[in-house]
């Protein structure tokens, strides 16, 4: 997975009823646009994220 600063990241819920999480990539720390990413989630939290198979870049 590759991302650029400003891209949107969406992580789908893992279980039925889990909410999806969405956020903005504010820093790319991996090589050539790869993870990990620092993401500012829509709930205001920021964190270092290694996206899993349930995550995609919009």
pLDDT, tens digit, 9 for 90 and up, residues 9-34: 999 877 788 888 999 999 999 999 99
Mean pLDDT of 21-49: 96
Q: Tell me how far the alpha carbon of residue 24 is from its chain's centroid.
A: 7
The answer to whether 6 and 25 have CB atoms below 8 angstroms apart is yes
10 Å Cβ neighbour count for 25? 20
- Assign 48 a pLDDT band (cuts: 50, 70, 90): very high
pLDDT at 37 over 90: yes
Give the Cα separation of 43 and 29 in Å (integer): 22
The pTM score is 0.87
Average pLDDT over the chain, rounded to an integer: 93
């Amino acid at each position: 997975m590759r991302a650029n600063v400003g891209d949107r990241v969406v992580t789908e819920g893992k279980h039925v009823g889990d909410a999806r999480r969405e956020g903005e990539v504010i820093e790319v720390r991996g090589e050539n646009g790869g993870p990990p990413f620092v993401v500012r989630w829509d709930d205001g939290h920021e964190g270092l994220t290694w996206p899993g198979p349930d995550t995609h870049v919009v």
